[in-house]
Chains A and B, each alone.
Chain A
């Protein structure tokens, strides 16, 4: 399944996918509507190719990171662990202290992904998890203005009716998938840096001919290699939060260095280096993980 999905992302679709949730900032280009259409099309494609089956979810997550996929798929996979009967509908995880009275939810949840285009929210993080229908009038959403410029929302639930209850979420599966996503992202950023180091010339030669850069790239390649083994190792489930923290650090480090190797060119809105850098910031702080 992962191979078919990898093929799906190849070619012309790749650059569109990388920016399918990157909101332009007054600089023209595709509109939000164009991007929403791409996201809807990618969602259909992924579901059609069996992405919700749950087989090799870690490999799939890594692949999604490597193409910088942005959408509700990873949240949906996590929600399906709690609510196995969900159909193929997109779900967003909303993390908040859920004061569950009667059969309603009242909670403020920040940094909820793709809140404007999912069919359900899974309110998680408390002693019980609640499934609610998106679009209910008791729900208000506001898109955050944030570094990633993606589809992150503040969502307020005010007495929202619950359609299904489940036990507390065990974060481990989500954490390992997110860690795998970050490994994919780090690998893609690294590839971008290596390409630049081979082609950009200063002082009469490729900048990558300088060991100051080539050794740094080699070191990153080795760290990504190690992290990949880690996320695919069955033993990792027992260390999921720490693995997520490690790959979060890796993604931030690799993308920060990718920026440095690119020079001022990497800061340009039309260069993907800054996109990896911003996405790594946003993706590396998702889900509970040890900090500091």
Chain B
């Protein structure tokens, strides 16, 4: 296992790869990187989605090897959203719940690092309470017409298709009646508008104006999207991405912090180590085929809060130097502190906000009344 980690690290440490990563963090304002050569390199080796079957571009390895690849990519600063959306969320959902046809169609491109996908769940009025979503898929012949507005999704400009949640029926229980669809992103009837934000990566507002989709584009069963989500969530919510990010920031902080900060850094490091242990406990659960929702919620909350704490501590300890953007000639550590500071608020919101994780642990683990 260690050998495999070393092989991944060796590739990620190559000069050309490092140069590409550094370059991707210095794009002109308003532009952002999509899939990079490093993704395609990993894809060619069958490592990008290493746990998928070989015929779909993976290597038939386990979630443990996948976690090693993810962890090292983030530790080495490879921009992760384009990969996590395409492979870890959408591709993983297809791999777990898709039909053979869907797998043939979508997985190889994702595994090779040639295409990516985005996730259309949130809506202007629907965030934490996903059960109340308003996008609708109306039956139309042997398929559906999809109408709705989706926001705060990312990478539409680099994606060919999306995983979209829409309502197919209404009833007394909100969660029932939601269906997941695999939808083309650049078809007539789809309008994509950028929503500029604090981070380097824009959000998009996507309006779906009655776009036509087939019965074969349903992922899982009709009206059963909630089950699909529950099946996929433990893979998304391991916290490994956040713990790896916290490690990377802390390593840079140690290098640049002025004398006198050692105790504070040691305490942060202890938290970062605990974060990593929680993340790897989730990976072990998945490896054993026993996902544990409480472990997932714990890992998501602890790792994202820790990553955020480290990024705010960097500003406090380093002072103004931490604020220099990668584009400033005097930036330290390639501008990593500015980048993580601007990403930090999103960590405790996306993929289940901290409050929703706390609520879940309070009610499910501690048995407190809801």
Q: Measuring CB to CB, which residues of chain A are less than 8 angstroms from any residue of chain B?
A: 25-27, 110-111, 144-148, 152, 154, 201-204, 207, 210, 212-213, 248-249, 252, 256, 259-260, 263-264, 266-270, 274, 277-278, 281-282, 284-286, 291-292
Q: Is the CB of B338 within 8 A of A147?
A: yes
Number of A-B pairs whose CB atoms are under 8 Å?
131
* A263 in complex: contacting residue of B127, B328, B344, CB < 8 Å: B127
* A291 in complex: contacting residue of B203, B261, B312, B331, CB < 8 Å: B261
**Interface size for chain B: under 10, 10 to 19, 20 to 34, or 35 or more residues?**
35 or more
Count chain B CB atoms within 10 A of each CB in A144, A252, A259, A267 and give the residue with the most. A267
Q: A252-B315, A267-B203 are in contact. List 7 more A-B contacts (CB 8 A).
A: A144-B328, A264-B127, A269-B196, A269-B198, A270-B196, A274-B198, A284-B316
- Within 334-359 of B, Cβ neighbours of A (below 8 Å) are at 338, 341-342, 344-346, 348-350, 353-355, 358-359
* B355 in complex: contacting residue of A110, A201, A204, A212, CB < 8 Å: A212
Q: Which residues of B contact A264 (CB under 8 A)?
A: 122, 127, 151-152, 203, 346, 349-350
Q: Given known contacts A269-B197, A281-B315, is B354 in contact with A260 (CB within 8 Å)?
A: yes
Q: Which residues of B contact A292 (CB under 8 A)?
A: 260-261, 264, 316-317
Q: Main SS of chain A's interface residues?
A: mixed
* B258 in complex: contacting residue of A201, A207, A252, A291, CB < 8 Å: A291
Q: Is the CB of A291 within 8 A of B320?
A: no
Q: Which residues of B contact A285 (CB under 8 A)?
A: 315-316, 319-320, 322-323
Q: Measuring CB to CB, which residues of chain B are less than 8 angstroms from any residue of chain A?
A: 28-31, 122, 125-129, 132, 151-152, 194-199, 203, 258, 260-261, 264, 308, 312, 315-317, 319-325, 327-328, 330-331, 338, 341-342, 344-346, 348-350, 353-355, 358-359
Q: Which residues of A contact B327 (CB under 8 A)?
A: 145
> Shortest CB–CB separation between residue A192 and chain B, in angstroms?
14
19 contacts between A and B (CB under 8 A): A25-B196, A110-B321, A146-B328, A202-B127, A204-B129, A204-B132, A212-B355, A260-B345, A260-B353, A264-B346, A267-B346, A269-B198, A274-B198, A281-B341, A285-B316, A285-B319, A291-B317, A292-B264, A292-B316
Q: Is the CB of A27 within 8 A of B196?
A: yes
Q: Given known contacts A263-B127, A291-B261, is B323 in contact with A146 (CB within 8 Å)?
A: yes
Q: Which residues of A contact B127 (CB under 8 A)?
A: 202, 263-264
Q: Is the CB of B28 within 8 A of A274?
A: no
Question: What are the nearest 10 A-B pairs in CB distance?
Answer: A26-B30, A26-B29, A259-B345, A145-B325, A145-B328, A25-B29, A27-B196, A147-B323, A269-B196, A274-B198
CA distance A269 to B345 in the complex (A): 14
Q: Given known contacts A144-B324, A147-B338, A285-B320, is B199 in contact with A267 (CB within 8 Å)?
A: yes
Q: Is the CB of B341 within 8 A of A147?
A: yes
Q: Is the CB of A267 within 8 A of B197?
A: yes
Q: Is the CB of A256 within 8 A of B308?
A: yes
Q: Is the CB of A146 within 8 A of B30?
A: no
> Shortest CB–CB separation between residue B31 and chain A, in angstroms?
8
Q: Given known contacts A26-B28, A146-B323, is B330 in contact with A266 (CB within 8 Å)?
A: no
> Shortest CB–CB separation between residue A96 and chain B, in angstroms?
13
> Shortest CB–CB separation between residue B273 and chain A, in angstroms?
20
A261 nearest CB neighbor, chain B only: B355
Q: Which residues of B contact A207 (CB under 8 A)?
A: 128
Q: Is the CB of A268 within 8 A of B196?
A: yes
> Shortest CB–CB separation between residue A280 and chain B, in angstroms?
9
Q: Is the CB of B315 within 8 A of A260?
A: no
Q: Which residues of B contact A284 (CB under 8 A)?
A: 315-316
